[in-house]
Structure 1
Amino acid sequence: MASVVPDEILPSPGAASPVTPTSTSGQVPLEQAPRLKGRQRLLQSLQRMSSTPSLVRRTRSHSTGYQRDGKASLSCVSLSPQCWADPSMSSPSQIYGGLGTSSPPATTAPSPGSARIRTIGSSQNVSQATVPLPADVRPASRSMLRETYDPETELINEMNGMDVQVASPEAKSTFDFWQDMPDEIKMGIFNYLTPKEIVRCSLVSRAWYKFCFDGQLWSRIDTSDFYSQISSDALLKIIKTAGPFIRDLNLRGCVQLRDKWLSDAENISDTCRNVVNFSLEGCRIDKTAIHYFLLRNPRLRYINLSGLSSVTNSAMKIIAQSCPQLDTLNVSWCSNVDTKGLKRVVEACTKLRDLRAGEISGFDDEDMLQLLFERNALERLVIHRTDVDDGSLKVLMHGKDPEIDILTDRPIVPPRVLKHLDLHQCANLTDQGLQSLTHNVPFLEGLQVSQCPELTDDAITDVLRTTPKLTHLELEDLDKITNSLLIELAKTPCAERLEHLNVSYCESLGDFGMLAILKSCPQLKSVEMDNTRISDLSLIEASYLVRKRGYSTDLPCVGLRLVAFDCVNVTWAGVREVLSSNSYLPQALKAASAVVTVKESNGESDVSDSLSACPPTPSFPPQQYPKQIIQLKCFYGWQMTVDEHTKRVLRGSLKPANNLARKWADYMMATEEAGTGGAGARRRRRRARDAERLYNFDEDDDDSYGPFIGRRRRARSGGCTVM
């Protein structure tokens, strides 16, 4: 049985140990304690352990030898080594603090260097008030085992003859980051991966395989990015696994599923019953499979069956019966569908807002268009390359036999809610039919009447004056329109909103009309004017338009797309003006940028200076860039240079872009001079060779101009093929 007194303070053989004083002279004799054996040794151990407070709590009787001498045991006193080292402690009352007497010791001032004795009290039963050992003499092994070792329980077990092993401290539990993570967080992490990456991750382990093919990850299946790289078996497995979770199913271009639709069409339809958006454009699918799928998905709101020859009027009947929530229907280029099937859809689907029926026959039927007029719910109507004529278009806008206003001579009908109308390549349409749109489409934002050869300025101008929200206008290949139309367009209310204009192949248009558009339409983002009579003046005005949009500290972005190839009046000088404008900075901003560059280059020396000695440095503006630039499509011989210049500007390398534009201009001038005959031809050819050699040299980091002697020439691929 272990003793309560630590081993560090027990008397060792041959060393002096304190004993109870026996003389009355006040001297404390020091002699070696005798070693006890047998019963006496056991009683001495019990006496020492009896001083613990746990025995007092259990109301156990004290040992008989504890009060025999009328003095306390050693465990009741602070056993500091200083207590025995001071020779001035000569009396028992000084050593024991008066524990053995009834009267308290006299209070005396402690002498310097004397040891301090903690007095417990003068009660007869001193075992009820014990003091733990000081921390500096407490053994480390005891303090470490104190958390798992209970002396009270150990004493009882030993007295009862029980052999109990002390439990070792429990090992610290480890945390598995991925295994202990909630499944919802794991699913959120997998949601950031692309479908291709999810399929690859499924090969890591069985647990990952389970997560990768969980239906929550495949609520939206869009194969437009990988339809040519995935096998039919893998795609079919994904569809069947995620079946009830799929909301958006886009199988555009998945021709490899042709055999699967024949064999497993019913299983796929039974699995996928909650699809909302469905697209089969360009697929090869059986007629029966389409019917199965449409019947089992009553929640469909978007259906795209464009270009499917297996889609017939029977499919339209099924859509009308089982898809009451339909919002968008695209059946363009479905050769086996006509307006008879569409009429059923329009009658049954009251929420239809978008109907795309390009190249569908039967739009000369006035009953169909009368139904659309009465419903007046379509916001987008695409009927390009159809047989619509002036009479059917009037029925669509005015209805049959409308009431005419006497004062204005206009039909009294509610305005249409149409926002986008596509009538391009409708050969039977003339000015009389198009004028029916006047005052009837005030919410129109997009109008496409390209390749309608019979349209003239008058009808289009009347429509433009009454469509203040127009943003997109397609007038491609209209031979009968002139610059007067563009001038009137610049004066209409929609000029402030116009973003896209297409007048390609309108050979009667030139700078006179285009300059008016570029000056009056500040929101332009795209202008297609190839095969027209425009010249460099239009390009210069477009550059000025974009420059007025300002500068910022962010990298530039494309703000205007110009298409001007095959324009005989556009020269390389106009193209160079566009390039220079893209990389142009005002002199004030250029000076500020130069200061910033110098400041950044001297940053190391500034850091070495003392902050207290140097005055506060002024703050310089950051590097400035144009907010927007022009993306130009021009003559194919210059296009590679234009594209390279645009790339440099978009990444913020304005200085290399300026160098490229300057060297290209020198090259073009030298080439033109070299092609001129007469006197000085030899000198011009030599200048052309020098310009070509100058252009081939990459001086992106240097603005110097002249012969480059003694400098290493960087390798370039292609030489002057950029031209």
Structure 2
Amino acid sequence: MASSSSESDMSLDPETPLTPMADAPASSPLGDRPKEKRRQRLLRGIQRISSSQSLTHIGRPRANTAPYGNRGTLSCISLAPTSPLGQNAPGTSTPGYFSSVPGTPAVEFPEFEGIETRLATRKVANASTTCLNPGSVSLPQDLAATRSRSGTVRKAHYDFWASMPDEIRIQILSYLRPKELVRVSRVNKYFYKFCFDGQLWTRFDASEFYQEISAESLAKIIVAAGPFVKDLNLRGCLQIEHHERAEIVAKSCKNLINATLEGCRNLQRTTLHSLIQSNDKLANLNLTSLSAVTNSTCKIISRHCPQLEMLNVSWCKHMDARGIKMVIRGCPKLRDVRAGEIRGFDNLDMAQAIFETNNLERLVLNGCVDLNDEALKTMIHGRDPEVDILTNRPMVPPRKLRHLDLSRCSQLTSHGVEALGHFVPELEGLQLNGCRVLTDSALEPVLATTPRLTHLELEDLSELTNEILSEHLAKAPCAPRLEHLSLSYCENLGDAGMLPVIKKCVGLKSIDMDNTRIGDLVLAEAAAMVRSRAARTSARGSRPRIGLRMVVYDCSMVTWTGVREILSWNAKVRQPSGSKQPTYPTEIIGLKCFYGWQQTVEQHTQRVLRGDFAAAARLEQKWAHYMQAVEEAGAVGAGIRRRRRRAREAQMLHANEEEGGVATAGRRRARTMAGSCSVM
């Protein structure tokens, strides 16, 4: 007992370090040692670590004034295996059971009654987080800020996309194309939900990717977005061929306003009828070249589409003009009818229906070979109109037509076309291509009474003469407003008719004169016209634009001299007298001429468009020298060998300049004179 009491006094002495039980003599077993008090046995398992390094491993007895300790002095401790006295067990490197965190106050525990065994090992989830203040409890791990190895505190992750309002998400996704939306929707279900929101699919245009998307994917997209689609474009989607897929598409779209089914040749008739019947708000319907369209389809359109404004049934072989008549009478808002190559337009009842409604602004009847003079006059004048005895003209209200296409209506003659005169004052576009029997008398009243005319196409009218151009078109009220003129294959037209037109029609933007008798004078006059109407600029970095496009290939009277006049004007840089700052063109002429010269013309135009006027002028000059040498080489007489050598040298210089103007990869163009001399 004396030894036991002395040993107990050593353990409680504050200036005597604790000795582990492993240092006890091996001869005295634990069972022979007298039973100690429970309080002292508990204190032997606690190692006090003070803020001062000098008090490490020093025990302290419990104060008599505080028998149960102070709760405010509790600090974070670690419950790891150790020896009863607070040190590591032999052969282990784990800290003791109750080794407190360095720098914290001592731990005061009350006496525990009934504890006979050692405390069990307990895992602490947030053992690495130290207590900030005595008596405090550490925060949960999900709320505490994480600290990186560098010591900086990292904030909790903030999901910016999930916290964003739905309106902003939709606005961001609205900038994506349909193809991109489908790709984004594959990220997860959350993105799929927003990518197929109805606000993003009010317009579905598959014409950009119809060759890449499968029928299943196309059907799924339309089913997901169908109730919200207002503009549907399935042009060329041949993959909608299965009956069930097409039925799904037709049943999903209920709010269409604009529908384009052009080229969907496999669309079944019942599916098309179901689609039309379920969309009573249709305003624009394009059924071009659909075999499923019949007169019954037109009847359904007239009954279920009262808001229809545009109908295109061109090249629908299984219907005729009777279907057009039903649509015109059943759709009071119809403004645009396109019925190219539809049969039965010699029907006077259909023509009378067009006259009575008088709502059409665009009528396209190209290729309607059944259309004759009587039907056309009925459309304009009606049946048996009252005639004014003074003017000998029918007394009917003028038509609202703004665009009329009668191309390739082979049965039309001058007697029928001249009926348009005085009755289409709002006409802006007139196409009479291929009506070969028309003469000057057919166009005279039309040109005199259409002041708004901007587009006139008279291609392949071999009976026209220069008089219709010089005496009527050049003096017509529409001359200053005319923008497009096509006279291709009018073989009787030449400089005498075109020169007055070029001078008066100063607003022209395109002229087609291939296979005519025009010459270099027309090209020079066109250059002068553009030069007079186009302003010049002193900004060196400005880029000109093409203001007039001319087509003059296969014109036997056009030579390289006229072509050079165009090229010279396009690259002209003026140096005004008394001014140090040159001026540059803002508008040039885009020319299409002979095949052998076209490559040089295009190269010259590209240099001008990118602002390299010096290189363009150099190319034009060397091409002119080459063409002169070629003409001299073809002349007979002495010095033919010298002239041919000069032609070869000029050809080489021109080829070098043409190839050196633009950096091209690959093989250089063969330097032969075959292409340039073929037309000489």
Identify the TM-score tier after normalising by the shorter chain: 0.7 to 0.9
Work out whether 1:263 is the aligned partner of 2:244: yes
Of 473, 477, 482, the match for 1:493 = 477
Instruction: Tell whether 2:461 aligns with 1:473.
Output: no
- Given that residues 388 and 426 in structure 1 are in contact (C-alpha distance below 8 angstroms), is that contact kept between their aligned partners in structure 2? yes
| Secondary structure of 1:184's aligned partner | helix
Residue 297 (1) aligns with residue 264 (2)? no
The equivalent of 1:520 in structure 2 is 504
1:249 match: secondary structure: strand
Q: Which of 136, 142, 150 is 1:164 aligned to?
A: 136
Distance verdict in 2 for CA 1:627–1:339, change over 3 Å: same
AA aligned opposite 1:551: R
- Secondary structure of 2:240 counterpart: helix
Match of 1:718 in 2: 669
Question: Is 2:235 the partner of 1:235?
Answer: no
State which of 175, 186, 189 in structure 2 corresponds to 1:192.
175
Name the counterpart of 1:663: 622
The one-character-per-residue Cα deviations of 1:281-300 (angstroms, maximum 9, x if unpaired) are: 12221111111111111111
User: 1:690 aligns to what?
Assistant: 649
Q: 1:367 aligns with which of 349, 354, 361?
A: 349
Q: In the alignment, what sits opposite 2:530?
A: 546
Asked if 1:534 is matched to 2:518, the reply is: yes
Q: Matches of 1:227 and 1:666 in 2, distance apart?
A: 52
- Name the CA distance, whole Å, in 2 between partners of 1:561 and 1:474: 15
Structure 2 matches for 1:122-521, cutoff 5 A? 163-165=135-137, 172=155, 175-259=158-242, 262-284=243-265, 285-386=267-368, 387-487=370-470, 488-521=472-505
**CA deviation string 1:171-195 (max 9, x = no partner):** 6566554444333333333333333
Q: Secondary structure at the match of 2:376?
A: helix
Paired residue for 1:637, among 592, 596, 620? Answer: 596
Q: Which amino acid aligns with 2:652?
A: R
Task: Report what 2:586 is aligned to.
Answer: 627
Native 8 Å contact 2:240 2:246 kept in 1: no
Secondary structure of the 1:414 match is: coil
Find the aligned partners of 1:169 and 1:546 in 2 and give their Cα distance: 76
Equivalent residue of 2:207, what SS? coil
Name the amino acid aligned to 1:517. V
Matched, 1:571 2:559: yes
Instruction: Give, in whole Å, the separation in 1 of the partners of 2:433 and 2:464.
Output: 11
How many angstroms does 1:165 deviate by?
A: 4.9
1:415 Cα deviation (Å)?
0.6
Which amino acid in 2 is paired with 1:333?
W
Correspondences of 1:111-122 after superposition (within 5 Å) = none
3-state secondary structure, aligned to 1:578: helix
Between the aligned partners of 1:291 and 1:298, the Cα distance in structure 2 is 12
What is the rounded CA distance, in whole Å, between the counterparts of 1:644 and 1:189 in structure 2? 43
- Aligned mates of 2:578, 2:373 — CA distance in 1: 59
1:166–1:304 Cα change, 3 Å: closer
User: 2:329 & 2:186 partners in 1: Cα distance?
Assistant: 50
* CA displacement at 1:531 relative to structure 2: 0.3
Unmatched tracts of structure 2, length 5 or more = 1-62, 65-130, 146-153
CA distance in 1, matches of 2:237, 2:144: 63
CA contact (8 A) 2:520 2:558 kept: yes
> For residues 617-664 of structure 1, what are the alpha-carbon distances to aligned partners after superposition, in whole Å with 9 as ceiling and x for unaligned?
xxxxxxx54222111111111112211221221122222211222222
Q: After alignment, is 281-290 or 544-553 more displaced? A: 544-553
> Which shifted more, 333-342 or 203-212?
203-212
The C-alpha deviation readout for 1:442-496, integer Å capped at 9, x for no partner, is 1010111121122111220111000111011111111111110111101010001
Check 1:714–1:327 CA distance in 2 against 1; reply closer, same or farther (3 A cut). closer
Taking a change above 3 Å as real, the CA distance of residues 458 and 208 of structure 1, as seen in their structure-2 partners, is: same
Q: Equivalent residue of 2:576, what SS? A: helix
Change (3 A) 1:273 1:355: same
Counterpart residue identity of residue 565, structure 1: Y
For residues 103-126 of structure 1, the C-alpha deviation after alignment (integer angstroms, 9 at most, x for no partner) is xxxxxxxxxxxxxxxxxxxxxxxx
Q: Tell me if the contact between 2:603 and 2:658 (Cα under 8 Å) persists in the aligned partners.
A: no
Give me the TM-score of the superposition, normalised by structure 1: 0.69
Q: Where does 1:693-704 land on structure 2 (aligned, <5 Å)?
A: 693-698=652-657
Q: CA deviation at 1:213?
A: 3.5
Q: Classify 1:436/1:206 alpha carbon distance in 2 versus 1 (closer, same or farther; 3 Å).
A: same
Q: What amino acid is the match of 2:558?
A: V
CA 1:258–1:567 in 2, change beyond 3 Å: closer, same or farther?
same
Tell me if structure 2 keeps the 8 A contact 1:247–1:274.
yes
* 1:666/1:287 CA distance change after superposition, 3 Å: same
Once superposed, what is the RMSD of the aligned Cα atoms? 2.8
Which blocks of at least 5 consecutive residues in structure 1 are unaligned?
Answer: 1-37, 40-147, 595-623, 703-712
How far the C-alpha of 1:533 sits from its partner, in A, is 0.2
User: Take 1:590 and 1:174, find their aligned partners in 2: how far apart are those partners?
Assistant: 71
Contact 1:232/1:256 (<8 A) preserved: yes
Equivalent position amino acid for 1:305 in 2: L
For 2:512, the aligned partner's letter is: E
SS of equivalent to 1:559: strand
Shift in Å, 1:714: 11
CA contact (8 A) 2:219 2:248 kept: no
Q: Deviations over 1:180-229 (max 9, x none)?
A: 43333333333333333333334445444444333333322222232222
Instruction: Kindly indicate whether the alpha-carbon contact (under 8 Å) linking 1:659 and 1:700 is maintained by their aligned counterparts in 2.
Output: no
Tell me which amino acid in the other structure corresponds to 1:588.
P
Question: 1:28-49: CA deviations, max 9, x gaps?
Answer: xxxxxxxxxx99xxxxxxxxxx
**Structure 1 counterpart SS, 2:511:** strand
SS at the partner of 2:547? Answer: strand
Structure 1: distance between partners of 2:452 and 2:228? 40
Letter in 1 for 2:246: A
Whether the 8 Å contact between 2:574 and 2:584 is mirrored in structure 1 is no
Q: Displacement, 1:322?
A: 0.8
Q: Which amino acid aligns with 1:670?
A: A
Q: Matched residues in 2 for 1:537 and 1:551: separation?
A: 24
Distance 1:212 1:340, change over 3 A: same
| Cα deviation 1:502-553 (Å, max 9, x = unaligned) | 1110000001111111100111011101000001111111111122211234
Secondary structure, counterpart of 2:181 in structure 1: helix
Deviations for 1:379-399, whole angstroms, at most 9, x for unmatched residues? 011112221211111111111
The TM-score normalised by the length of structure 2 is: 0.73
**For 1:641 and 1:358, how far apart are their aligned partners in 2?**
39
- Residues of 2 paired with 1:408 and 1:358: CA distance? 35
What is the distance in 1 between the residues matched to 2:136 and 2:323? 91
Find the residue that maps to 2:653 and give its secondary structure: helix
**Structure 1 residue matching 2:478: 3-state secondary structure:** helix
In 2, Cα distance between the equivalents of 1:316 and 1:714?
A: 56
Given the alignment of the two structures, is residue 673 of structure 1 paired with residue 643 of structure 2, yes or no?
no
SS at match of 1:421: strand
TM superposition shift of 1:586: 1.9
Q: How many equivalent pairs are there?
A: 527
**1:212-264 CA distances to partner (integer Å, 9 max, x unpaired)?**
333333322222232222222222222111111111111111112223xx122
